[in-house]
Amino acid sequence: MSRRIVQCAVLAVFALTVPAMAAVAPGTGEIGFDYGNTQLDSNTGLDSATSLAVRGGYFLNKMFQVEGQFASTSDSQDVLGTSVDAKYRLYMVNGVFNFDTGKDLTPYVLVGVGMIDSTIEIPGLSFDDNSVAYQVGAGSRFYFGKAKRTAFRVDLSMISESTFDESSTHTNIAGGFSWNLGGK
């Protein structure tokens, strides 16, 4: 079993056992993490990569949230017989529009802007670049527990960036947990 799978399993167990701190309301926050898969743009020469993200947000009201996101994506594979390691680090500020359904389900759409750092390593060489990145996405939180303050979160997003003089669009699908913080 890979070390990454074990780490994610430990995080999932932690997520299910940590008590939530308060209800979602204007002026409260949210923290969480996601684990997913990123389908890299075909112009990178790579297929897909695993991703891990942490998020923190502030609810301006029940519908609008400002969220900070850090995500790391990595992949290792052979390209034309050469071992290639690719790492992408994404730093985003997202605007999240939540749809209040009045139930344990809260769908959302998000748009974000930030920066991506890219590192490509082949034996004996390393190349780094960064650029502005844009993100659009949609997903949902599925609240559970007695207080409904912990949620399973899934989302699908598209990230556009332009590193190494190439415009790329990557598609990410992720799932994770979030906890609402603060209170009335």
> pLDDT per residue over 144-184, tens digit each?
988 888 999 999 999 999 988 889 899 999 999 999 987 54
pLDDT for res 131:
94
User: Is the pLDDT reported for residue 8 higher than 60?
Assistant: no
Token pair 């999932």 is at which residue? 12
For the segment 29-72, what is each residue's pLDDT rounded down to a tens digit? 999 999 999 998 887 777 888 999 999 999 999 899 999 999 99
CATH of the domain at 20: 2.40.160.20
User: Is the pLDDT reported for residue 2 higher than 70?
Assistant: no
CA dist 139 and 125 (Å) reads 38
CA 35 distance to own-chain centroid: 7
CA dist 4 and 33 (Å) reads 14
Q: Categorize the per-residue pLDDT at 79 as very low, low, confident or very high, splitting at 50, 70 and 90.
A: confident
Q: How many domains does the chain have?
A: 1
Contact between residue 161 and residue 132 where contact means Cβ atoms under 8 Å apart = yes
Owning domain of residue 41: 3-181
pLDDT for res 147:
82
Token pair 């992720």 is at which residue? 174
Q: Which two tokens stand for residue 73?
A: 């994506």
For the segment 113-131, what is each residue's pLDDT rounded down to a tens digit? 999 999 989 898 999 999 9
pLDDT for res 37:
94
Average pLDDT of every residue of the chain: 85
Environment class of 72 (CB within 10 Å of its CB; exposed 0-12, middle 13-18, buried 19+): middle
pLDDT for res 160:
93
